[in-house]
Amino acid sequence: MMAQQDLRVVVIGAGMAGILAGIKLRDAGYENFVIYEKADKIGGTWRENTYPGLTCDVPSHHYTYTFERNPDWTRHLPPGSEIQAYFERTTAKYGLQEYLQFGQEISRCEYRDGRWELQMQSGLQDSADIVIAATGVLHHPSYPDIAGIADFQGSIFHSSRWDHDLPLDGKRIGIIGNGSTGVQLVSALASRADKLEHYQRTAQWIMPVENGHFSEEERRAFREDPALLAEVMNVDAFNAAVESYTQGLTDSNSEGAQQIGGACLQNLESSVRDPQLKEKLRPDHAPMCKRLIFSPDYYEAIQHPNANLVTEGIERIEANGIRTRDGELHELDIIVLATGFRTDQFMRPMEIIGNNGVDLESAWAVRPVAYLAISIPDFPNFFMLNGPNGPVGNFPLIDIAEHQWTYIEQLMEEVNSGRCAGISASHEAMQAFDEERIAAAKKTVWYTGGCKSWYLDAEGIPASWPWNYSRFVAEMAAPALEKFDYFPVLQIKQAS
């Protein structure tokens, strides 16, 4: 696709997906575009999250754009700081600086007279033919509803708002939350704290994974011989593993489900010595019901002499620490809220008004929905990367975004070629997709596995992609254009 018209494109967000959009727009010959970012630099979740032990659970060489491999990862699982540095280097290499505007948070986005009119909190205004929402999923911190948070006299903060000026060594640290973040924090801090307490509401399955080092000799070899790097990556084998994993989500009797469940169980049985601690760490739900946690050393860390697993519920937070429901006061210097993010927000709290005055809050009154996670009926030329009902948590996010861009650029071509002025999924396609998705979601382990997780929407329906990896790749290869409404120029002007 090469740009034929001087279409104005606005990209919202300069995280992984927004950077991808900018690079792909330039590749296609689009020059009239801007990337608005509410923060002061690029990076998205890797800019926001800087806590000790931060690591991506996707193997390093698979957490890159396919067109910009990175031979310089130092670990088998990429540290957060290296991921941020990778995105900063990539942004500079592909010349995106001139398209970036920082400190610009969009408050309103309205479709009028066939164009999107945007209003920033700063007072800046813009107008666009096409909007790409690359706002991410994990960026609105979720704070727990615990009485007394304001009473604590020590330091208390969300894990994504880490206070790097705060000394940690020799301190009494409490970590609330035992998803991936809480697990990584325990691994990083157990040996540094004078006392570390991990507050667990629901035990999690831990998938064992190695996180070795790449030597300087290996990295030099990767730099000098891209074919060697490709051989080490073995993309086909990795994709087959992702396929097996997603089959495990949709079929508890599949080989993938059995292998993963067996590995998690063996990890618990062989790694935890104390029988009472082992039972506290034993989940009461099926493996993969929650987002599977990959860790090379959590079980070792929670058995450190300075560490303690607290399974008693939290009654309240007091001036000197956490009081649990058994009446015990756990005195602490630091409390970290590793309590995740509000995964139902997406572009919100931005006000988004589509064709004929339809607003996003009304369109999402029941739950956030989008046709194939990309397009919403009545919102022409408004496309999402990693939108609702996509495979967030199932597959590597960069891989998802690249496949989604292949789909989006074909929708943009319908506008770029002049075949229409606007395009969005039809109501019929959206309804059929959502009915099929919900039916499939109720067969996944997220629904049948006996747990509550951030995958579930307000009605308890799993919100993530409920099919396997191969179906996602096939769907993203080319849009079924008969599933979309076309907006001719005349119709748009009349509708407005």
Report the C-alpha gap between 390 and 386 in whole angstroms.
6
Report the C-alpha gap between 482 and 414 in whole angstroms.
12
Q: Counting beta carbons within 10 angstroms of the beta carbon of residue 191, is it exposed (0 to 12), middle (13 to 18) or buried (19 or more)?
A: middle
Structure-token pair, residue 6 = 């001087």
* pLDDT tens track for 335-389: 999 998 776 667 778 899 999 999 999 999 888 899 999 999 999 999 999 999 9
* pLDDT tens track for 423-450: 999 999 999 999 999 999 999 999 999 9
Q: How confident is the model at residue 142 (pLDDT cuts 50, 70, 90)?
A: confident
Q: Which one of 169-183, 339-353, 482-496 scores highest in mean pLDDT?
A: 169-183
* Domains in the chain: ranges and CATH: 9-140+343-495 (3.50.50.60), 149-204+290-337 (3.50.50.60)
Q: Within 10 A of 414 (CB to CB), how many other CB atoms are there?
A: 18
Residues forming beta bridges with residue 384, ordered by sequence position: 133
Q: Counting beta carbons within 10 angstroms of the beta carbon of residue 139, is it exposed (0 to 12), middle (13 to 18) or buried (19 or more)?
A: buried
Contact yes or no for 32/59 (Cβ under 8 A):
no
Contact yes or no for 447/455 (Cβ under 8 A):
no
> What does pLDDT average to over the chain?
93
Contact yes or no for 196/322 (Cβ under 8 A):
no
Structure-token pair, residue 395 = 């597959």
Residue 491: is its pLDDT beyond 80? no
How much is the pTM? 0.94
Rounded mean pLDDT of 451-466?
87
Q: What is the pLDDT of residue 456?
A: 85
Number of residues assigned to the chain: 496
SS3 227: helix
Q: Which amino acid is at 274?
A: D
Residues forming beta bridges with residue 132, ordered by sequence position: 11, 383
In 391-464, where does DSSP find H-type helix? 397-416, 427-441, 445-448
Contact yes or no for 108/118 (Cβ under 8 A):
yes
